[in-house]
Structure 1
């Protein structure tokens, strides 16, 4: 349905030099037309919303540069619950030793999986650096369960069925595990800025009946100072890791990278539960996440230990990495005439703004399109906290590919006018989340002008992901990938005027027309 808001004004533009006037109304954003009287106006087009459940998304780092991997549980009652896990190969390290001659004994003491938290320094006082944790979602009042498992699924960079193509792992891929590797079966974590160290009891090798406290830290250089940063420390079973790693250091399994990758196929860092926190770990950060083997080098005089040196072997989490998302339906679905947009394997929405009948009607008007804004309003009763919502949504088009399927395709405005394309969360004066608006003037203008590549196929609204950018490394990519690792969600009002009134989803077109 079209509703005319009314004529906003009449412009008469005259020039001394008379030139021929072409009735070409396809120029984008044109506000000056020579030797012609024009009236300007606005119309509102009601839009149709069709929510779509996302089954899975691409989750590997084979086909995209991904650094952020979420771990934990996020139970937002108005969106799908997410149980996010990480699957990663372990980097190969050469020339490892578990023996050191007749007068030296190497003893494995502790194995720790270390994951630095996303944290920002807030200043240093009396030599102590304070931090704030970044982008953590969920309930910090409960511990989040994590189990580290030995992966038995071979992570191949090439497609086994067609080695000429790269492989792809989706967010619901199945991974076979061999055994749990946790030191304790009920391990949970609660992120805190004070977790800048991990203490454990270490055997005094000179006096084996005694133990002493040893401290593990993760450090980095900031302004020429070495500071300890917050990190998650997951202790692993020493006996299992000794059998898997330590005892194999000088064997065939560690003789080359290929042998190692086939022998030890990586870790599954699995998080499960009904509630908890979701943490975006950067697996490409510096300092990097690592699997560390702490051992003692004991200097012997016969059977007596005369000296000890504490050392470690460190294996980075590198190679192929994937995310796994277990999604559970929302406990409180969106109310009538509302819809949910959620990242990861959440939900998106098809948006129909113009059908073919309406297109022919609009074309017959011979309008010059000055502006076209597609706006989606936030349900401010449910989605109340702006910092928890997606800070940006993205709009593209599902084009009919002629073979019974669709091709996700960039709208021309996304790359022709990226600075004005929009999609950012807009707030009210009191910082309440209000709406998301897209300027699609180029698309509407060319659609009404009848340009061949511009169709009425539905648009698609989703949570923005960096891989949605049409220009990456100075290269234009008009196809849309299914990657999404943003777990945030928002409830929006649909296009029903009787239910949502002035805050319904709507397309506003501003035009000029010859009188």
Structure 2
């Protein structure tokens, strides 16, 4: 017993050391257990996993939250594995300072309207002149797109009248036609610079503005990280802010949002870039519209004031709109799952895409057991060849595992990239996966227990729980040690629920969002009517080896358990 305790102590000491290290996050989580395994014994248990295509998703306010999706997609991209997607966006506008003092007798006139939305960007270097170089995060593609910004005529309600205004109004990813049919004619971003509209691209360049000092020399006034910066038409905002018709419409944001119904960012293929394009993740909530205007100094004066500003925020209700043309191969794989033996490949796609359903400890029947009803471990010189006995009269491997009364030291699922289906040098795989309790629609206990963080890279927090893509190993590993302990412990009597697996754009976001059409579930999962909202915000995907017995041992999805026999 003392020897087992020392093994366990040493194991968690190493884990604690790994957690405390600020290491290269491309390798985070990849070596916490290590290759030595500290003398622990290991068992590989079967898993059943199959694809589920979920399609149209709610992309407005979340089912379990009153806030909008924190991240949205914008752009057009032709993914060679999953197909084409156009991601457009509609948002309401709010006055930064409601009920501004506006005197029409002073003839307020707009000089400039500028839209600014920062990109997700990482600074990679600083040159000799002090200029920062950036790389845009999660950008797919590098070609140009056609971007049109219109004034929206579609009112986005807060609450659903069909429920007596008791529930939040839901808007879905397939409502592009509804939004487009209500736009006010005339593109707002009609600048003569085509990079702001017909040949738009997500520019990673630092934004530098200059001013003139007292000596008449131009000097740097401000440096900003990369952002979308568009000039919008003055006349539309002159009407909405400074016309006689606008009087009384700016007193509160509720009144203003009925009067000025927001902006519609419409995306199309750019001329000269057919079937290419680019797609980025955006936080529109950080966007602003700065209206610069002047007034007469007094009613009888011809002299105008120095420029003043009025700021509008891209706030209020929003909807992300997806127009998909799925590849036929992808669609055929996710719409005909093998519910008995599991699928040989798992196709995960964000947005209006697909997920996987995972059943731990499925029945031994017809599931790759040998003639002795034993489940063999792979031929790996670093892993002891342990056999898990499953007698004919045991319907569930979990019962047998409980009988053994093992001390569970570590448990994990490893998902291997199928490079034949998805070349990672062409299409970057989703950078992270999220595993959750499908039946109860909540995160796993291992998620809550993991408090690890990565300084400067919050997207890699909870790296012990894992799910991060390890480029060098072409795999993802998710630890669910505490979940397995709860299943094995008879005193806890935890239910062996089915699990859901999706791509995620933000590991910190675990809210749920509604499916337009619920999927039929099982006794273990129940009806699948929501998915994690962070899956809808990502347009990336990945093709993984599944659990079907036809998959080679080294790549097949299996549950790996490190354990110690109690003395």
TM over 0.5: yes
Deviation per residue, 1:127-168 (Å, 9 max, x gap): x63331421522223x21222233333333344324444444
| Aligned 8 A contact 1:40 1:513 in 2 | no
List aligned pairs for 1:402-413, cutoff 5 A: 407-413=440-446
1:284–1:409 Cα change, 3 Å = closer
| Aligned 8 A contact 1:414 1:470 in 2 | no
Matched, 1:338 2:338: no
Matched, 1:425 2:436: no
1:65–1:156 Cα change, 3 Å = closer
Corresponding residue to 1:134 among 133, 136, 145: 136
Give the TM-score taking structure 1 as reference length: 0.71
| Distance in 1 (alpha carbons) for counterparts of 2:133 and 2:40 | 55
| Distance in 2 (alpha carbons) for counterparts of 1:514 and 1:299 | 87
1:512–1:195 Cα change, 3 Å = closer
Alpha-carbon deviation of 1:169? Answer: 3.8
Q: Which residue does the alignment assign to 1:280?
A: 281
Q: Which residue does the alignment assign to 1:290?
A: 288
Corresponding residue to 2:118 among 116, 135, 138: 116
Q: Which residue does the alignment assign to 1:442?
A: 482
Instruction: Please list every run of 5 or more consecutive structure 1 residues that lacks an aligned counterpart in the other structure.
Output: 1-10, 16-28, 31-38, 199-213, 216-223, 400-406, 472-478
Corresponding residue to 1:189 among 178, 195, 200: 200
Larger Rg: 1
| Distance in 2 (alpha carbons) for counterparts of 1:351 and 1:60 | 28
Matched, 1:416 2:449: yes
List aligned pairs for 1:330-479, cutoff 5 A: 330=327, 333=330, 337-355=344-362, 357-358=395-396, 359-381=398-420, 382-385=422-425, 388-399=428-439, 407-417=440-450, 419=452, 420-428=464-472, 433-450=473-490, 454-466=494-506
List aligned pairs for 1:177-326, cutoff 5 A: 177-183=182-188, 184=190, 187-194=198-205, 196=207, 226-248=222-244, 250-273=246-269, 274-285=275-286, 289-295=287-293, 297=295, 309-326=306-323
Q: Which residue does the alignment assign to 1:509?
A: 561
Name the structure with the higher helix share. Answer: 2
- Helix, strand or coil for the counterpart of 1:137? coil
1:456–1:299 Cα change, 3 Å = closer
| Aligned 8 A contact 1:292 1:314 in 2 | yes
| Distance in 2 (alpha carbons) for counterparts of 1:257 and 1:330 | 43
Instruction: Please list every run of 5 or more consecutive structure 2 residues that lacks an aligned counterpart in the other structure.
Output: 6-10, 13-38, 192-196, 212-219, 270-274, 334-342, 364-394, 453-463, 512-529
Corresponding residue to 2:539 among 481, 484, 487: 487
| Distance in 2 (alpha carbons) for counterparts of 1:233 and 1:180 | 22
1:491–1:77 Cα change, 3 Å = same
Deviation per residue, 1:174-221 (Å, 9 max, x gap): 6442324414496341122447489xxxxxxxxxxxxxxx99xxxxxx
Q: Which residue does the alignment assign to 2:514?
A: none
| Aligned 8 A contact 2:75 2:87 in 1 | yes
1:229–1:46 Cα change, 3 Å = closer
| Aligned 8 A contact 1:196 1:228 in 2 | yes
Alpha-carbon deviation of 1:504? Answer: 1.4
| Distance in 1 (alpha carbons) for counterparts of 2:111 and 2:488 | 72
Alpha-carbon deviation of 1:48? Answer: 2.1
- Helix, strand or coil for the counterpart of 1:138? coil
1:262–1:509 Cα change, 3 Å = same
| Distance in 2 (alpha carbons) for counterparts of 1:380 and 1:157 | 45
1:363–1:386 Cα change, 3 Å = farther
Q: Which residue does the alignment assign to 1:75?
A: 78
| Aligned 8 A contact 1:395 1:411 in 2 | yes
Q: Which residue does the alignment assign to 2:148?
A: 147
| Distance in 2 (alpha carbons) for counterparts of 1:445 and 1:308 | 71
Deviation per residue, 1:440-481 (Å, 9 max, x gap): 22222332334565223321111134466679xxxxxxx974
| Distance in 2 (alpha carbons) for counterparts of 1:255 and 1:59 | 29
1:131–1:321 Cα change, 3 Å = farther
Q: Give the paired residue count.
A: 434
